[in-house]
Structures are given as C-alpha cells and as structure tokens.
Amino acid sequence: MAEINIDMSEYAAFFERMKQAGNGEFERSIKLFLEGLGYEFLRIVEDEIIRMQVVDTWLLLASFDKGASGNVWTAEDGGLSLEVGTNVEYASYVNDGHWANKKGVSVRFVPGIWSGDRFIYQRGASTGMMLKQQWVEGYHYWESALNIMERMIPKLLDAKLQSWLDEYFDKF
C-alpha cells in the first residue's frame, strides 16, 4: 500500500497567523489606519484653507490638528468610527457662507485697521469699516477636502488591505 505524507507545517503557520489576526492584531491595524485617515483628512482641510486663501486669524487653521484648541477628535472603539472637525465658532460661517449682519441690521461698524487692501480686525480700535447687509459666500473648504478624500480612500484601502494580506499570509 502506498503511503501519503502531507506536510502540514505551512498550514500550521497559516492557522497561527489567522489566530494572531483574530486576537486583535487586525483590529488594532484597522484602528491605526483609521486614525491615519483622520490625520490625512485634517491635513487636506488645512491645505484647502490655505489654497483657497481663506481670511483667517489662524484660530481656524490651527484647530484642524488633533488635540488643538477647538479640535474635534472622537474615536469609538467597537464601532471603529472616527469623527474629526472643529468647534471653532465661525468655522461653519467661513465654510457655508453667511449674512454680513444679523437679521434686521442693515449696516454695522467693525473695528480694525487697513493694511493695504487687507482689513485686520482689532477689537476696540477707533478705526474700522462699515458692513452693509449682504451675503458672504462660503469657501466650502470642508466639502472640497471630503471630495479629495473620497477619491483617495479606495486606493488607500486597496493598498492597506493588500499590505495586511501580505503581512499575515505572504507565505501562502
């Protein structure tokens, strides 16, 4: 009778890698990848604010960094979700647009100084400018950054998934 020898060492290694992946290594990798996406998104938002030449006191721009004043960075463990953004009060006005004055106010004084053709707000200044009621169009930097990320994510996910597969199962 013929004898059949099966080398199970490769399968044992495969099953060991599966066990490691199942013991949280894969989940930790996903969380780290998700956090990296959050950082990349914040970087893109900052780039869009600069590219669009948004008039800013740097409070808005600086708030798009993890741990910065006004920053929002929330990660859920089980659901693997990440929320990033800013709590800077005027961020939505700059992004979405706004009326120059409150409802019913046709003109208001804004204290500050002019430096060439650029106005610099200075609380309490005796000089300034009068703002007439008008719609100030938003820059839509947030939506622009989201569009960029939406185009990037499929390629990033494909590359990361291939990297994970190579890491755990490269010998098989």
Condensed to tens digits (0 to 9), the pLDDT of residues 82-134 reads: 788 888 888 899 999 999 999 999 999 999 999 998 888 899 999 999 999 99
Does residue 3 fall inside a structural domain? no
CA distance 46 to 58: 11
Query: DSSP characters for 2-63?
Result: -------HHHHHHHHHHHHIIIIIHHHHHHHHHHHHHHHHHHHHHHHHHHTT----SHHHHH
Does residue 7 fall inside a structural domain? no
Does residue 6 fall inside a structural domain? no
Specify the pTM: 0.72
- Find tokens 């993890």 and name the residue: 66
Number of domains comprising the chain: 1
Condensed to tens digits (0 to 9), the pLDDT of residues 24-76 reads: 777 777 788 888 888 898 999 999 999 998 876 688 888 888 877 777 877 76
Does residue 115 fall inside a structural domain? yes
Q: Residue 44 is part of which domain span?
A: 12-167
Q: Is 106 helix (H, G, I), strand (E, B) or coil?
A: coil
Does residue 99 fall inside a structural domain? yes
